[in-house]
Amino acid sequence: MDDMDEIVQEFLVESYENLDQLDSDLVALEQQPGSRELLASVFRTIHTIKGTSGFLAFSKLESVAHVGENLLARLRDGQLVMTPVTTDVLLRMVDTIRALLSAIEESHSEGPVEVAEVVAAIRAVLDGEEPVLPPSAGAGAEEPAAPAAAPEPEPVAVAAPEPVTESVEVVAEVTPEPEPEVDAGVVPQPEVTPEPVAEAPAPAPTPAPAPTPAPAPTPAPTPAAAPTPAAAPAPAGGAPAEKASAAEATIRVDVELLESLVRQAGELVLARNQILQRAGALRDEDLTRACHRLNLVASEMQESVMRTRMQAIDHLWSKLPRVVRDLGNMLGRKIKLEMEGGETELDRTLLEAVKDPLTHIVRNAVDHGIEPPEVRLAAGKNEIGTLKLRAAHEGGQVVVEIRDDGKGIDPAVIGAKAVEKGLVSPVKLESLTPNDILQFLFLPGFSTAAKVTNVSGRGVGMDVVKTNIERIGGSVDVESVNGQGTVWRLRIPLTLAIVPALTVECAGQRYAMPQVNLLELVSLDTERMSTAIEDVGGAKVYRLRGALLPLIRLEEALELRRPADVELPTNLVIAVLECDGRRFGLLVDRVLDTEEIVVKPLSGALKAIGAYAGATILGDGRVSLILDVQSLARRTMRSDGLEHAADQAATQQAVTGDGQRLLVVGLGDNRRVAIPLDVVTRLEEFRTDSIERVGRREVVRYRGEILPLVRLSHHLGGGSRGSYGEQEVASLPGVVYSARGRSVAIVVDEIVDIVSGQDAHSDIDDAGLVGSAVIRDRVTELLDVRSAILAADPNFFTEQAQHELAEASKRLGV
């Protein structure tokens, strides 16, 4: 029941604030009846109250707000014009709402407050029956109406916020309320901010309201209306006195001010780090002691300041019961929603960022996770599905779990879909664990919804969730047991202002990178350096547990020049990073440390480079640039994004799908190249001394004809054992391709093997290649046969032959 209480409390605070605004709006409206802004603002307030009261099942409140809303809608749409009578009726509606709110606050129910009168009065105005009104509002009201509006808000405003604010976070309320209003209200709005501030001192005259409620009923228009207000002050009068002190415990603070406090606390922490570093070296006992204290105080202060921006995750969750209920009803599911750890706090900006992803996952769980009751019964489960939300602090992060006991996610279905979409080859799929397969859910454009419903499956899927969560430095993963349920786990940093980062060194300079992108570090010593990093057409790759990891040398990416006095590193470190769902390795000289850094903005000129996400000041006071890992990867990798990756996947599928067999040949520099066996007519050995030159081309006499020849190592660039000048090789193997009476020879250094399919594929390619793959544990480049043949004989392809080769190429995905 506590959850509910909090929602009610929140609703009360919200409504009281809105009502104060409403009073002044209504009065202002009387002066300028045509103001659409004012009308819109008033309408919105009542609309909000109506909506929430309906949700909380306060039926009287809802009925009053409902008719009020109708009246306001007419006014807003210009079907009715503001008259003093209308204003009066509306003000009475406000009073009634106040009375109801007070009753709710006191007794958690609407109590005996009479609403029928007001509802009838509003209906009358709606029906254009002004004459009917006078008994309740007419003669007496016109004059007292204005005074009524003036004194009344005061007593209630003072009485109301007091007990309510008690249980509500200060910061929490500052934003959500004024914000939505700001865009609409023109003049009155700026006053919204000062107003709440003024409320803090307001409680001072607390004793005053006690007598004031008494007059409250008096100005209320007529004796006929007396029962309505009378009910209100009765309960209101009793409570505020007891709770008076609660309001003094909280004040409202401008969020901007808090932001600047957080920034300054960050600075303080940095300064402390610097002092600690220096002091450690001095061995001065007094200084050390003072430093310890500084350390302690700074840490505590940082924590407290951070807490001012914290909000319980309940603020998000409170909206979910409704979402689940409505959705469940719509889809015919029976669902029990459990929430645990709602008090877990999170920086409010992060909270805001998590809102949509969280809602999306919850909707998904209801739509795709939990089965209809009959299916659940058939599966031997309780017909009521359970959706459990859990939030907790874990190692400096907040973990939010969304767990359902539904049908789970079938890896087979996901896998089949991934293959169908060309995201993975069937061969590769077999080697993936069920958990790996579930990760496909996070790829763009992946949706398992069999049909598009209006609940989910509109193309914005888990990839958006993932992107949004990663944008704030968090992560999301999923686990599922087929038939038993699914768990989504969001990991969210506590705050954005301070980021855990890895500091690395390259060419004598230090750089920081956010740890959130970091998967692991691989250290390479001198011996392994030369062999472990392989070259694919000029691009470097590292074989990480069998998978090809494209490498980016930070030195090259940043065009660093090594100063003469800095020695070349004797070993290197590969930081394995992941962003946008792609892995790559960043080669740096050294990893220095992990550090909490405060991100500082860069000037526009540096931002424009696109290599840095910001700068920070490290413990020794020096500035360090923060690498923008994502755009570095984009700048450096040859492929441009997913389109290319999809192409490659198609290539691979074509190659492996057809059970294509490949001839693997060796070139100098330990390179391996694969040629589709389709285009191999014969394998021959050519004597090097039979190779002759015709113009700029090389030919070889072969079976009585002149065969144009291309040396693959030349064609692809790079050295070869059999190049000119080193005649130590007597003969070279060649691949002969014949079509329509014409033949060409592709000369290689050695014939290695014939294999079918390949088990890994990377994005790296180069001129003359269509990609690369791991074959028999070696990185192997896939030859673009067409360009190799054209290099040997530009006139090789007659029209017909061209067609034939195009067919073969299609299978290769060229």
Binding site for other proteins (CB under 8 A): 267, 270-271, 509-510, 558-560, 600-606, 608-609, 611-612, 615-617, 621-625
**What backbone torsions phi and psi does residue 639 show, to the nearest 5 degrees?**
-75, 150
Distance in Å, CB of 603 to other proteins, minimum: 4
Residue with tokens 């980016």: 552
Distance in Å, CB of 595 to other proteins, minimum: 15
Nearer to other proteins, 536 or 575 (CB): 575
CA distances from 57 to 62, 104, 221, 235 (A): 8, 11, 29, 21
**What backbone torsions phi and psi does residue 661 show, to the nearest 5 degrees?**
-100, 145
The single-letter DSSP state of residue 220 is S
The single-letter DSSP state of residue 113 is -
Distance in Å, CB of 358 to other proteins, minimum: 34
Distance in Å, CB of 597 to other proteins, minimum: 12
Nearer to other proteins, 209 or 614 (CB): 614
Nearer to other proteins, 57 or 608 (CB): 608
User: Which pairs count as long-range contacts for 553-556, CB under 8 Å and 24+ apart, including other chains?
Assistant: 553/587, 554/504, 554/506, 554/511, 554/586, 554/587, 554/588, 554/627, 555/506, 555/507, 555/587, 556/636
DSSP string, 493-545: ES-SSEEEEEEEEETTEEEEEEGGGEEEEEEE-HHHHHHHEEEETTEEEEEET
CA distances from 508 to 127, 569, 588 (A): 82, 10, 11
Nearer to other proteins, 521 or 602 (CB): 602
Give CA–CA dist 498/119, Å, rounded: 54
Distance in Å, CB of 272 to other proteins, minimum: 12
Nearer to other proteins, 265 or 649 (CB): 265
Nearer to other proteins, 11 or 511 (CB): 511
CB 753 within 8 A of CB 664: yes
Nearer to other proteins, 395 or 604 (CB): 604
Distance in Å, CB of 616 to other proteins, minimum: 8
Nearer to other proteins, 327 or 502 (CB): 502
Give CA–CA dist 181/421, Å, rounded: 45
Nearer to other proteins, 136 or 616 (CB): 616
Distance in Å, CB of 596 to other proteins, minimum: 15
CB 617 within 8 A of CB 600: yes
Distance in Å, CB of 624 to other proteins, minimum: 6
DSSP string, 352-412: HHHHHHHHHHHHHIIIIISPPHHHHHHTTS-SSEEEEEEEEEETTEEEEEEEE-SS---HH
Distance in Å, CB of 627 to other proteins, minimum: 10
Nearer to other proteins, 270 or 533 (CB): 270
- For residue 497, which of 609, 633, 597 has the smallest C-alpha distance? 597
Nearer to other proteins, 578 or 596 (CB): 596
Distance in Å, CB of 159 to other proteins, minimum: 46
CB 626 within 8 A of CB 615: yes
Distance in Å, CB of 341 to other proteins, minimum: 36
Distance in Å, CB of 540 to other proteins, minimum: 19
**Tell me, what amino acid is at 625?**
L
Distance in Å, CB of 474 to other proteins, minimum: 26
The single-letter DSSP state of residue 568 is P
Nearer to other proteins, 617 or 739 (CB): 617
Nearer to other proteins, 79 or 603 (CB): 603
Residue with tokens 């072969």: 702
Distance in Å, CB of 309 to other proteins, minimum: 20
CB 629 within 8 A of CB 586: yes
Residues 6+ apart with CB under 8 A from 608: none
**What backbone torsions phi and psi does residue 480 show, to the nearest 5 degrees?**
-155, 140
Nearer to other proteins, 271 or 754 (CB): 271
Residue with tokens 């330990």: 670
The secondary element (H helix, E strand) that includes residue 341 is none
Nearer to other proteins, 432 or 606 (CB): 606
Chain mean position to CA 632:
20
Distance in Å, CB of 346 to other proteins, minimum: 26
Structure token digits, residue 810? 């299609």
The three-point CA angle 668-673-679 to 5° equals 130
What is the DSSP pairing of strand 310-312 with strand 345-347?
Answer: antiparallel
Give CA–CA dist 55/720, Å, rounded: 78
